């Protein structure tokens, strides 16, 4: 009972915060363009649910079908790490900001495309090493084990 | 009575509509479980809380209200809270994607709504998910200067933060039992994973693959992979504010040592439209407003005054920061010599013709602070035009946009 009262209070505070936020969006319409705002919020959710998530699922299925069992976990970890890096790295590569503020050489000063490739190359080198080490260890284990224990 | 209406079962849609991902057993990953969902969700919630609190602090630094303003000590505080805000925000992106992945099958649950209350709860998720992605996406785009929207970033990011924080609290309140159950069940795989509500996946269909060897990454491996990705993003970006790691900053939008006089800038004199006015030999700094004797000084007169040296960071709302040595005239000395009161506030006015950051307010605590200068020199050399020549404001714990450049007047309030 006590707990459900606590939950109700937390929920009520939550609704209060949402009201504060939506009211702020509406009362600062000169800055916030409420119509564009709500379009972006809904489009963000739909873009994830209907495009990004299915795309990630397809990658998962393809990896499950194509990558040999013994290498699969390592490849999946590599893809997870790469995905995290790509979110930031692709934003750095694709942003028009550098062109837009071309007279400011301190803004986006790095060769992001090259750097992204290097970071991903390091990640996949590490993954490849992990796969080779795991396969070797396994082969050695299989060789070391007497045949009678193998079934 | 209302509750009874809200919980009255809705008719189930005709089964013929139950196709594709709506089918039972469509989602088969054995990695999904309430144990995973609860842990990732709690971590994401904690990170969002840190982002919310640090964001609120930055908002107060720019718009003091409710009698609250950002403290002026320690001098590294703003650079720390804002660096944390951006770093934690970046970490939230993979966590959010993982969290949404963990509950994705529930998007396709059947029937779509059991009753009106269930329908309302599911609709509220649109605001939760939408505002979460919106906050992280706009934040990410902002630090990379990618403005593909018509609204003004900081205003929208601030108010949407309230919508997101509220939606998260509401979500925690609704899902409290599931969260508790999730935490009390073990993370290690235990087939088959069953979600608290929604469909239980069909007991894993006999697979063609032999048992005894994992068919891919484990649940812990999943967390390790995402954790490693988050760490790698942090290591390759946080050097934009954490100087010892600046050599590893290969994906961050800034390097703390790249810019005019080895210090980044946000806006050039050309972009601000002040090149001519700032280089004009007739430049004067005016002390105006509520003072006994309004005054005005040429650059040579400012240079002839007692010069003070301070070491302070420039810290941008975008998360980068860099420390520098500044030399210049004390703001406190200037306004007190003109006869301003001890508790005076000062509006610092730039040569810029317009724009949101043409002026900035120094609260009385900042005016009285001996570290608050109108800087004439940076790292031992005359201030570059892009750093605000002839003189710029530099004070402790202020967002970079409020460190007004090309100062032409101190208006005492």
For residue range B319-350, list pLDDT tens digits in order: 999 999 999 999 999 999 999 999 999 999 99
Q: Where residue B216 falls among pLDDT bands split at 50, 70, 90?
A: confident
CA trace torsion B243, B246, B248, B250 (10° rounding): 140
Q: Is the pLDDT of residue B202 over 70?
A: no
Tell me what pLDDT residue A138 has: 80
The closest CB to that of A77, out of B163, B168, B217, belongs to: B217
pLDDT in tens, B92-117: 999 999 999 999 999 999 999 999 99
3-state DSSP percent of chain B in helix, strand and coil, to 5: 45, 15, 40
- HSE toward the beta carbon, residue B81, CA cutoff 13 A: 23
Contact: A73, B221; criterion CB under 8 Å = yes
Q: Under DSSP, is residue B382 helix (H, G, I), strand (E, B) or coil? A: strand
For tokens 């703390």, name the residue. B256
Greatest pairwise CA separation for chain B in angstroms: 90
Determine the straight-line distance between the first and last CA of chain A, rounded to whole angstroms. 56
- Say which residues have a Cβ less than 8 Å from residue B28's Cβ, sequence separation at least 6: B201, B204, B205
Query: What is the mean pLDDT of the segment spanning B75-103?
Result: 97
Count other Cβ atoms within 10 Å, centred on residue B345.
Answer: 19
What is the per-residue DSSP string for A4-23? HHHHHHHHHHHHHHHHHHHH
The answer to whether A87 touches B230, Cβ cutoff 8 Å, is no
Q: List the single residue in A with minimal CA-CA distance to B27.
A: A57
State the average pLDDT for chain B: 92
Contact: B100, A53; criterion CB under 8 Å = yes
B137-151, B212-226, B252-266, B389-403: the lowest-pLDDT one = B212-226
For tokens 């306004």, name the residue. B335
CB-based contacts of B98-101 (< 8 A; 24+ apart in sequence): B98/B40, B98/B222, B98/B226, B99/B37, B99/B40, B99/B41, B99/B44, B100/A48, B100/A53, B100/B129, B101/A53, B101/A56, B101/B32
- The alpha carbon of A92 is separated from its chain's Cα centroid by a whole number of angstroms, namely 15
Q: Is the pLDDT of residue B205 over 90?
A: no
Q: Does A103 touch chain B (CB under 8 A)?
A: yes
Tell me what pLDDT residue B197 has: 45
Are β-strands B308-315 and B295-298 bridged in parallel, bridged antiparallel, or unpaired? unpaired
Contact: B255, A36; criterion CB under 8 Å = no
> What element of type H or E holds B409?
strand B407-412
Q: Is the pLDDT of residue A37 over 90?
A: yes
The answer to whether B325 touches B401, Cβ cutoff 8 Å, is no
Query: What is the mean pLDDT of the segment spanning A24-43?
Result: 97
Q: Is the pLDDT of residue B70 over 70?
A: yes
The model's pTM: 0.93
Q: Is the pLDDT of residue B241 over 70?
A: yes
Q: Does A142 touch chain B (CB under 8 A)?
A: no
3-state DSSP percent of chain A in helix, strand and coil, to 5: 85, 0, 15
Tell me what pLDDT residue A148 has: 53
**DSSP annotation of B282:** T
Residue A5, min C-alpha distance to chain B (Å)? 10
Tell me what pLDDT residue B214 has: 57
Tell me what pLDDT residue B124 has: 92
Dist CA A43 CA B236 (whole Å): 30
Tell me what pLDDT residue B204 has: 42
Dist CA B331 CA B305 (whole Å): 12
Q: Does A90 touch chain B (CB under 8 A)?
A: no
For tokens 């010599």, name the residue. B337
Count other Cβ atoms within 10 Å, centred on residue B129.
Answer: 25
- Among left, alpha and beta (phi > 0; psi -120 to 50; other), residue B355 is left
The closest CB to that of A69, out of B155, B213, B268, belongs to: B213
Q: Where residue B2 falls among pLDDT bands split at 50, 70, 90?
A: confident
- Say which residues have a Cβ less than 8 Å from residue A51's Cβ, sequence separation at least 6: none
CA distances from B89 to A43, B57, B139 (A): 20, 15, 8
For tokens 């949402």, name the residue. A18
CA distances from A79 to A127, B53, B305, B363 (A): 10, 32, 61, 50
B159-163, B197-201, B309-313: the lowest-pLDDT one = B197-201
The closest CB to that of A45, out of B130, B209, B217, belongs to: B130
Are β-strands B359-362 and B308-315 bridged in parallel, bridged antiparallel, or unpaired? unpaired
- B268 CB neighbours in chain A (<8 A) are 103-104
């Amino acid at each position: 009972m006590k707990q459900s009262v606590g939950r109700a209070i937390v929920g009520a505070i939550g609704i209060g915060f949402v009201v504060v936020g939506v009211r702020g969006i509406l009362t600062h319409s000169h800055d916030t363009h409420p119509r564009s705002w709500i379009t972006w919020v809904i489009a963000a959710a739909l873009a994830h649910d209907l495009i990004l998530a299915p795309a990630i699922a397809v990658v998962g299925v393809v990896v499950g079908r194509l990558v040999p069992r013994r290498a699969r976990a390592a490849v999946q970890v590599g893809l997870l790490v790469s995905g995290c890096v790509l979110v930031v790295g692709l934003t750095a590569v694709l942003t028009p900001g550098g062109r837009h503020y071309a007279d400011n050489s301190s803004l986006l000063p790095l060769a992001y495309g090259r750097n992204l490739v290097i970071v991903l190359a390091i990640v996949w080198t590490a993954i490849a090493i992990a796969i080779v080490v795991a396969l070797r260890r396994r082969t050695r284990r299989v060789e070391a084990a007497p045949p009678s224990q193998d079934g | 009575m209302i509750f009874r209406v809200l919980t009255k079962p809705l008719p189930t849609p005709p089964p013929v509509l139950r196709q594709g991902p709506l089918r039972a057993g469509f989602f088969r990953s054995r990695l999904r479980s309430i144990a995973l969902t609860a842990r990732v969700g709690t971590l994401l919630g904690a990170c969002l809380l840190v982002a919310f609190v640090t964001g609120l602090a930055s908002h107060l630094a720019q718009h003091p209200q409710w009698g609250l303003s950002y403290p002026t000590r320690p001098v590294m505080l703003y650079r720390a809270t804002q660096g944390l805000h951006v770093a934690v925000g970046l970490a939230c992106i993979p966590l959010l994607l993982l969290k949404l992945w963990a509950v994705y099958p529930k998007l396709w649950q059947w029937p779509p709504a059991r009753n009106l209350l269930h329908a309302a709860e599911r609709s509220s998720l649109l605001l939760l998910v939408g505002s979460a992605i919106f906050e992280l996406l706009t934040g990410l785009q902002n630090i990379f200067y990618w403005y593909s929207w018509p609204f003004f970033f900081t205003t929208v990011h601030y108010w949407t933060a309230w919508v997101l924080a509220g939606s998260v609290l509401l979500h925690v309140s609704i899902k409290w039992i599931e969260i508790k159950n999730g935490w009390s069940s073990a993370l290690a795989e235990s087939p088959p994973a069953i979600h608290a509500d929604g469909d239980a996946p069909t007991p894993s269909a006999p697979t063609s693959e032999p048992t005894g060897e994992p068919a891919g990454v484990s649940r812990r491996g999943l967390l390790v992979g995402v954790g490693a990705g988050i760490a790698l993003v942090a290591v390759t970006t946080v050097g934009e504010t954490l100087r010892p790691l600046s050599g590893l900053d290969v994906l961050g939008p800034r390097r703390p040592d790249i810019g005019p006089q080895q210090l980044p800038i946000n806006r050039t004199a050309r972009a601000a439209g002040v090149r001519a006015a700032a280089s004009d030999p007739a430049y004067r700094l005016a002390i105006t407003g509520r003072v006994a004797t309004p005054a005005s000084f040429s650059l040579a007169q400012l240079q002839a005054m007692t010069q003070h040296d301070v070491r302070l960071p420039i810290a941008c709302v975008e998360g980068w920061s860099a420390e520098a040595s500044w030399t210049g005239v004390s703001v406190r000395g200037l306004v007190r010599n003109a006869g301003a009161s001890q508790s005076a506030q000062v509006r610092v006015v730039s040569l810029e013709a317009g724009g949101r950051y043409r002026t900035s307010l120094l609260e009385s605590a900042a005016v009285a602070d001996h570290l608050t200068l109108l800087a004439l020199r940076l790292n031992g050399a005359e201030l570059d035009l892009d750093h605000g020549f002839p003189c710029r404001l530099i004070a402790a714990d202020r967002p970079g946009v409020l460190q007004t450049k090309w100062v032409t007047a101190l208006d005492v309030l």
